[in-house]
Structures are given as structure tokens and as C-alpha cells.
Amino acid sequence: MGIGAFMALALGHPEFGYYMTRDPFGRGGDFTTAPEISQMFGELLGLWAADVWMKLGRPEKFDFIECGPGRGTLMADALRATKKIEGFHAAANIALMEISPVLQEKQEAVLREYNVQWIDDLDHPIIQSSHYPIILLANEFLDALPLEQWQFIDGAWRERVVEVNAQGLLSFAVSEKRRGAEVHITGRQDDIFECAPVREKFVGDAARILKSRRGAALFIDYGHEGGLGDTLQAVKNHKFAPVLDDVGIADLTSHVDFAALKPAVQEQVTVFGPVGQGAFLERLGIRERAQKLNQAMALERLTAAAQMGRLFKAMALCHDVTPEGF
């Protein structure tokens, strides 16, 4: 099967998928994300969203969507930080897009005091039947969506697949399927080219909704802008692991190619960024907040170039509004 189908099963299979069966975060889990490092992250994203809402003219109602909300920490911090912004909570229809029943339960517990709804995709009736502006947040969501890989062999890009080899083990192979004229880059023998049609479709859908209803979507993830290379990785117990060793037990992700997302959205919305997470959070005032909370360590982790400040990037899609941070 293609890498995309393999990733979708490894992460989302109803019984054995990685996200379906566990809470992957924190010290006892496999990885730690920005909102789990410090409350500052969710607070600043909440204020970013409230600023967008004010710039939109404080609409009476808006759909406040988070994709892949994990433990619900980001949304809880965002809502706490914006409690005193008059009218913001009353206007927010909160919708969480989450695939994992285990994490959905955690989100429910953490956000008990708010009125929250769950959706499985942007074409859910709750979103589609609404005509309000939207503000969407997604941290480390796009990297979990399936990607395809193509390998340059004897002058052509051929699809990289996962197969069961003669020993009965999972292994990488290359199929007969070739990629045609849509890949304009040439490579050297064995180079790997990645693309993520599911990811492109998702941001394209978001852009179309933004275009017709106004608002902004903020995507933060680790990634790059263009280029070749294999970024598929498995992470277990805070360490990289061989991709095919612990299927359904290790997290599987890939780097987000932000440049590749732009063509899918540029006709509908204005794109801001990507900029480094460090620069983005600095512009939102993380330094001042860190001083107040005495969180020098967390500030360093979230913003330093050698930590999450540069590899992680923020990109916003906007219609009718210019967001802070870029």
C-alpha cells in the first residue's frame, strides 16, 4: 500500500490506530507539544484569536474551531486568557475536530465549563450549515495527515509503498506506479519527493470557507518550504524509532511542506507566513508573559532557534483581516 494509506491506518485504524487507543502526550507518553510545555502557548493563541475577532468587527457569532486538540490544553488556556474580553466567549461556537475517542474524553473533561461540540471534518453539518465567520487553530495537526512519497529511480518518480516481504515483515518498496508531468523537479537516483494531497485538500477546504464567511486559520507545525527528502518519522518514548517497527504503538508524522500548501489556498485567501514559531510568539508578547510567570525555561524551549523556535512555523490563512504575529 502507499505511504498515505499506511499512515492513515497506523494512526487512525478504529481498533489498532495509534491515536485511537492512547493519550500520547507528556512524560509517560511519546512526545510533548507546545501547549503541554507551557500555558503561555494557548494563552497567546487565544489572544491572537480574540484580536482577529475584534478586527472582524466583533461579530455576534463565529465558529471557533480547533483541529486536533490533543488533551484540550490549548483551548482551555485560550479560553481562560480571553475570559475578560467582552462578548468574545458569548460569540464563540466552539467546535473541536478530533478523531480519537480517548482524547475526546480528555477534552470533554478539561472543557467541561464551556459549551463544546465535536466534528469529524470541516464538511460536518455544524460547520456547513453555519454562515458565521470562522477562526480556526491547529497546532501539530497537519503533520499527522497522510503523505505520499515518490522515489526517483532510473529517471522517473515511482511510488514508495509498504509491503510484506518474503520473511513476512513490513518493508519499504517501490511500486510500478509512476508520477507524471505534475512533478516538475528532477532528482538524483533514490531521492525522495513528498506530497500530501489530504493535507492540501484540508487547507483548501478551510480556505474556501474563509473566503465565503471571513476569518482566519492559524496552522503551527514543524516543517520546511519546498525541497526533496524523506521526513516520515516514528516517535516513541520521546525518541525517534524505525518507522515500520512499532506500527500503531509509535506516533507517525512527517514534516509539513508549507510552500506546497500555498497553491491550494492562494486564490481564496491571503497567506501570512510561514514564520518561525519563535518570532511569531515573540511578536505576540511571550517574553513579557514569561517574565511575569517566571517561565524562562519554557520561553527558551518554545522560542530558541535550536529548540522549537525555527523548525516550528506559523502560517495563517485570512480573508478580510490582517492578523498579529507576522
Closest to 286 (Cα-Cα) out of 34, 26, 31: 34
Radius of gyration of the chain (CA): 20
Q: Cβ-closest residue to ligand SAH?
A: 68
Asked if 19 touches ligand SAH (CB under 6 A), the answer is yes
CA dihedral (131, 136, 142, 148) in degrees, to 10, reads 20
Q: Is 103 in the site for ligand SAH (CB under 6 A)?
A: yes
Out of 54, 85, 99, 192, point to the residue binding ligand SAH (CB under 6 A): 99
C-alpha cell at position 94: 466552539
Q: Longest C-alpha distance within the chain, in Å? A: 65
Tell which one of 51, 140, 148, 194 touches ligand SAH (CB under 6 A): 140
Among 2, 30, 33, 315, binds ligand SAH (CB under 6 A): 33
For ligand SAH, which is the closer residue by CB, 98 or 194? Answer: 98
Q: Which of 81, 111, 144, 269 binds ligand SAH (CB under 6 A)?
A: 144
Q: Which is nearer to ligand SAH, 20 or 54 (CB)?
A: 20
With respect to ligand SAH, which residue has the nearer C-beta, 56 or 252?
252
Question: Nearer Cβ to ligand SAH, position 100 or 151?
Answer: 100
b or e along 10-24 (b: 16 or more beta carbons within 10 Å of the residue's beta carbon)?
A: bbbeeeebbbbbbbb
Binding residue (CB under 6 A) for ligand SAH from 36, 43, 51, 194: 36
Q: What are the counts of helices (DSSP H) followed by strands (DSSP E) for the chain?
A: 13, 15
Q: Residues in contact with ligand SAH, total (CB under 6 A)?
A: 19
Which residues contact residue 297 at a Cβ distance below 8 angstroms, ignoring those fewer than 6 apart?
none
List 2, 4, 46, 70, residue binding ligand SAH (CB under 6 A):
70
As a whole number of angstroms, the distance between CA 64 and CA 89 comes to 10
> If binding is defined by CB under 6 A, does position 68 make contact with ligand SAH?
yes
Q: Is 230 in the site for ligand SAH (CB under 6 A)?
A: no
Binding segment (CB under 6 A) for ligand SAH, from list 56-64, 96-104, 161-169, 317-325: 96-104
Cα–Cα distance, 254 to 233 (Å, whole number) = 6
Nearest residue (CB) to ligand SAH, 10 versus 91: 10
Is there a contact between 74 and 38 (Cβ–Cβ < 8 Å)?
no
Residue of 132, 141, 219, 312 that binds ligand SAH (CB under 6 A): 141
Closest by Cα among 72, 202, 35, 197 to 127: 202
Count CB-CB contacts under 10 A for residue 49: 27
203 counts as binding ligand SAH under rule CB under 6 A: no
**Nearest CB to ligand SAH, comparing residues 39 and 151:** 39
The Cβ of residue 130 has, within 10 Å, a number of other Cβ atoms equal to 16
Q: Does 97 bind ligand SAH (CB under 6 A)?
A: yes
Residue 30 interacting with ligand SAH (CB under 6 A) = no
Closest CB 72 distance from ligand SAH, rounded Å: 9
Binding window for ligand SAH (CB under 6 A); candidates: 99-107, 127-135, 230-238, 293-301: 99-107
- What is the distance between the alpha carbons of residues 77 and 182, in angstroms, rounded to a whole number? 43
Stretch that binds ligand SAH, among 137-145, 148-156, 181-189, 281-289 (CB under 6 A): 137-145
Q: Rounded to whole angstroms, how far apart are CA atoms 30 and 251?
A: 7
- How far is Cα 109 from Cα 71, in angstroms, rounded to an integer? 9
Q: Which residues bind ligand SAH (CB under 6 A)?
A: 11, 19, 33-36, 68-70, 74, 97-100, 103, 139-141, 144
